[in-house]
Structure 1
Amino acid sequence: MANYIFGKVKRKQKMFRIIETETQVYDIANLVLNGIDYNPATLIEDEELYKLTNFSESDYCLDFLTNELNTVEHDQISKEDLKKLSFICTVQDSLYFFQIINSTFFISKKWFSIDELTLETEKPIITINSFADAIYDKQQDILYFKKLTSAQKIFKGMDQLYKEATEAESETFLENDFLEVSQDFVVAQISIPNRKRIALVNETLNRLSDEEKLAIYNYTNQYGQVVYENGKFKIESDDDLKFVLWGIEQRFYTTQVGGEKRVANSIISI
């Protein structure tokens, strides 16, 4: 069965045909795609993948994935455009392997082949990683990826899955009734990780009733990291804010054996 490599050229909307080959680029026979539903609060191990189900229904899915693949409809890429690739896509069966292309993947040094001992000087090559930046299973309609920062370079808009709170949103959050913020602590001092947590926590708080919010505040206070008086947490530093945000995300827990108080660095819903 033929396999195809397509390419996206910078500042051009359509995908170009690059290569048709009988050789498998990726070893799909031994490929195991088991993903964890994407959640910015979940950290994955090196061998694990995030996944987005029903990907074709998302706003950032490419027409290239939703349309029927017809290689004749794609123009053959020019040699000049090969130097302007932003990413390539290898299609094998119903799997689409995406790889971002940047200057590190272009090799234009002098080289010689082990099979043919001739020195080459004017034949730059593009290297292909052993594992793709993103894999789309068209049959299952699932996108797999390891890093959102890489995937969003291919699928524009995916960065909204993990957005930072704006300055205005951060300012509004600090004005909440359950916080007493020191005059010496201003929005500009909020770290990027805490801005991301604020974006998540705002969604959490919007889903909670007043009784549930009070229970969350009391739960956070039980772990005693931030002063809590008269229904308000005293925020004097970015660390104080971090502990309160962790509490709202319910990341604190006590071990059943030993009673050690801990904070979860990563969360997976089960």
Structure 2
Amino acid sequence: MNHLIARLKDCTEKYRKVITSEISFYELPADLSNNHEYTPSYKLENDEWYSVSEFSKKEFCNEFINNKPDTTAYKLLDKADPCNVIYLCALQDDAIYFQRVFKHSVLERKRVVFLGDEITVKENPKHIVLSDIADAIYIINDDKLYFRKLESITPIFRGIDTLYREATKEEVNEFLERSFIRVVDEYGVEKVGKANRQRIAMAIEKFNQLEEEQQHEIFEYTDMYYPQLEFDGTAFTVRNEEDMKYLLYGLEERYYTTPATNEKRIANSIRNMPENK
């Protein structure tokens, strides 16, 4: 039997049983095998999934995964509960499916009904629309979570957003004080936006692993591909968010030249290629 459970907010008993049935609430996607271990620098194609291996060992693992719930102990969801549902969890076969529930997913609308010559207006009861594809799928035997949008599952797996963290104020300040950066025109920590704080968090980890000679090669490479960013041979002048973005693109080595047409481009998404066997 398959079980559909609702996780509620602001309730003493936070779980409710929705229904137990032999039917499947969600289908297992055929393209699930086309997955990539999550990294914020890689953007999915339409037929791809992110994955997190050994998910049950992660601090942000969900209680439905770590502790198999006793569905017989849950009260049934009643008509007053749908607006308080945060997400749905389907215990189905060898997988657990999760769907985030937004306010617009809980429908209560009037409809015009045509019955022969009679036309009436009826009010639908509240109902939650099940998505065709779940927001996250956990395969029990593989201990692996699959998803497509990290922001969609952060309320389900509290703390999973650390996979795509922003640099802290202290880290940003330390980064701006590096000898190869010259900040001017009142640009500073408070003006570094969310996107660049995320790029800084990724860039500093990789950059700190480079030898001094490699760091200088990165500076020359960045100057060659993006000469609009003022560089005096020692430091880059950063005046605004745009300058910071293109400097960080350089530190991440996102610039490249196509071999046939000799076009200079910026990689919007990057991942390491597998080594030849």
Partner secondary structure for residue 8 of structure 1: strand
Give the CA deviation at 1:262.
Answer: 1.1
Unaligned runs of 5+ in 2: none
The alignment's C-alpha RMSD in Å is 2.4
The residue aligned with 1:45 is 45
For residues 76-91 of structure 1, the aligned pairs below 5 Å read: 76-91=76-91
Give the CA deviation at 1:120.
Answer: 5.0
For residues 30-69 of structure 1, the aligned pairs below 5 Å read: 31-33=30-32, 34-69=34-69
Give the CA deviation at 1:218.
Answer: 2.1
The residue aligned with 1:231 is 234
Q: TM-score, normalised by structure 2?
A: 0.87
Q: Report the identity percentage.
A: 33
Partner secondary structure for residue 222 of structure 1: helix
Partner secondary structure for residue 173 of structure 2: helix
Residue 247 (structure 1) aligned with residue 250 (structure 2) = yes
Distance 1:133 1:11 in 2: 23
Distance 1:108 1:16 in 2: 20
The residue aligned with 2:269 is 266
Partner secondary structure for residue 154 of structure 1: coil
Distance 1:259 1:58 in 2: 44
Give the CA deviation at 1:113.
Answer: 8.8
Give the CA deviation at 1:81.
Answer: 3.0
For residues 167-246 of structure 1, the aligned pairs below 5 Å read: 167-223=169-225, 224-246=227-249
The residue aligned with 1:4 is 3
CA contact (8 A) 1:15 1:64 kept: no
Summarize the Cα distance change of 1:61–1:87 in structure 2 as closer, same or farther, 3 Å threshold.
Answer: same
Comparing 10-19 and 145-154, the one that deviates more: 10-19
Distance 1:91 1:227 in 2: 57
Which portions of structure 1, spanning 4 or more consecutive aligned residues, are displaced by more than 6 angstroms? none
Give the CA deviation at 1:174.
Answer: 0.9
Give the CA deviation at 1:5.
Answer: 0.3
Question: How many correspondences in the alignment?
Answer: 267
- Deviation track 1:162-181 (CA, whole Å, cap 9, x = no partner) reads 12223332222111011122
Give the CA deviation at 1:112.
Answer: 8.0
Comparing 34-43 and 216-225, the one that deviates more: 216-225
Unaligned runs of 5+ in 1: none
Distance 2:248 2:264 in 1: 17
CA contact (8 A) 1:180 1:235 kept: yes
CA contact (8 A) 1:225 1:243 kept: no
CA contact (8 A) 2:35 2:50 kept: yes
The residue aligned with 2:107 is 107
- Deviation track 1:196-215 (CA, whole Å, cap 9, x = no partner) reads 11111121122222232222
Summarize the Cα distance change of 1:119–1:89 in structure 2 as closer, same or farther, 3 Å threshold.
Answer: farther
Residue 149 (structure 1) aligned with residue 151 (structure 2) = yes
Distance 1:112 1:96 in 2: 38
Give the CA deviation at 1:60.
Answer: 0.6
Q: TM-score, normalised by structure 1?
A: 0.89
Q: Which amino acid aligns with 1:204?
A: K
The residue aligned with 1:25 is 25
Give the CA deviation at 1:8.
Answer: 0.4
Question: Which one of 125, 129, 138 corresponds to residue 131 of structure 2?
Answer: 129
- Deviation track 1:103-155 (CA, whole Å, cap 9, x = no partner) reads 211121234899xx997536221111111111111111111111111111110
Partner secondary structure for residue 51 of structure 1: strand
Distance 1:16 1:113 in 2: 32
Partner secondary structure for residue 162 of structure 2: helix
